[in-house]
Amino acid sequence: MSRRTLDTALVPALLLAVGLVGCPDTHDTMDAGHADVGTDAFVANADCACGQDAPFGLDAWALPASCNPQVAEIDVCAAVCDDVDGAFWDGTRCIATSCNCTGSDCGTYATVEACQAAHAHCDAALCLATGGRYFSRPQFCGHFECGFPPAVACDEPLPACDCGLYNIFVDGVGCMPGPLCELIAPMEPQALCESTHGTWHTDMCGSTTCGRVSDTDCIAPGCACGTYEIFDAERGCIQSPECDVRLLGEDCTATQRCGGGSVCCVSGGASTAAACEAPMCSDPSGVCGPPRP
C-alpha cells in the first residue's frame, strides 16, 4: 500500500476518533470528472451536532467537498447585515453571505476561506486560480484547448475552462502551457474583429462587452461583438462567462442569470422568453409577481 493510499485510508478512522464523523447522511462523493482526493467528501448536515458549531468542524479540517453547486443562493429581498456570516459554493466560486442567504446549505462554511479550502480541488477553482475563465453553464463538450472549445459533438454539454490561446486544462492542476498549441500570427484589430463575426466601428468608445456599449464619454474605435462575447486582442470576438450574467431589462432566457439585484422572470403565457426585472419583494406570489397570462 502506498503512503498516499495509507494516509487517505486513515482519514475516516481519524475523524471517528475525534468525533467528527458519526452523523447520518453527511457523506457525498465528488462529481465525476474532478480530481480524485482519495476519500469521500464530507458535507455538513445542518441538523447534525457535528456541524460548524463543533470544536473540530468543517472549517478546521477543510475536507474536500462536492464540486456541485450547494443548495444556497443570495436572497435579493433580504436585509443585509454589516458582517459576513458565512459562505457557500455556487459551482464556480465561494460567495460570502451577510444575513441574506436562502437554502438548505446556508451556513455550511463560516468563512469564505473555509469554503475555498474545501473546494480547491474543483475544476472551477483550479481554472480561475491558474488564470482561466470558467463557464459554469453547461454548453461545451469539454475544456477548451489552445483557446477554442472542442470541435466534437456530445450527448450532454458540460461546464468548461478556457485557459487562453496557448494553454490547456490539466485535470487536478489547472491551466498549463499546451505543447501542441500553435503560435498565431497577430492581426490588426479591425481585421481580427471582422474575421470573428464582429462589426468594426470608429465612433464608439472602445469595444463592446457582453453586447453593451461603454457609457464612458469618449470616441475610440472598437469591435461590436455578440451578446455573450467580449473582444480579445489575440482571438477577436470570443464567448466569456461574465456575459452569462444579464442586467436589468436584458433578456435572460438562455442563461437564467441576472445581476445587480434583478431577477430572471418569464414573460408568461405561451412565451418562454425571460428578462431581468426588479424583484417584487412584497408580492405574495414571489419576486416575479403573479403569474402572467
What is the predicted pLDDT for the residue at 220? 95
What is the predicted pLDDT for the residue at 267? 81
Which of 186, 198, 162, 193 lies closest to 234 in space, CA to CA? 186
What is the predicted pLDDT for the residue at 184? 84
Q: Hey, what's the cell of 271? A: 412565451
Q: What is the pTM of this model?
A: 0.74
Other C-beta atoms closer than 10 Å to the C-beta of 131 total: 11
Tell me the one-letter amino acid at 49: A
What is the predicted pLDDT for the residue at 63? 53
- How far is it, in rounded angstroms, from Cα 78 to Cα 58? 26
H or E segment to which residue 16 belongs: helix 3-17
Q: Hey, what's the cell of 252? A: 435572460
DSSP 3-state of 137? strand
Q: What is the pLDDT of residues 7-36, one digit of tens each?
A: 333 334 333 333 333 333 333 333 433 333
Other C-beta atoms closer than 10 Å to the C-beta of 246 total: 26
Core vs surface per residue 159-182: b (16+ CB within 10 A) or e: bbbbbbbbbbbbeeebbeebeebe
Q: Hey, what's the cell of 31? A: 462529481
Q: Hey, what's the cell of 147? A: 483557446
Residue 169: phi and psi, rounded to 5, are: -95, 125
Query: For the chain, which residues score pLDDT lower than 50?
Result: 1-62
Q: How many residues does the structure list for the chain?
A: 293
Q: What is the DSSP string of 221-259?
A: -EEE--TTEEEETTTEEEE-GGGGSB-TTSB-TTT--B-
Which residues lie across from 200 on neighbouring strands? 223
Residue 273: phi and psi, rounded to 5, are: -70, 150
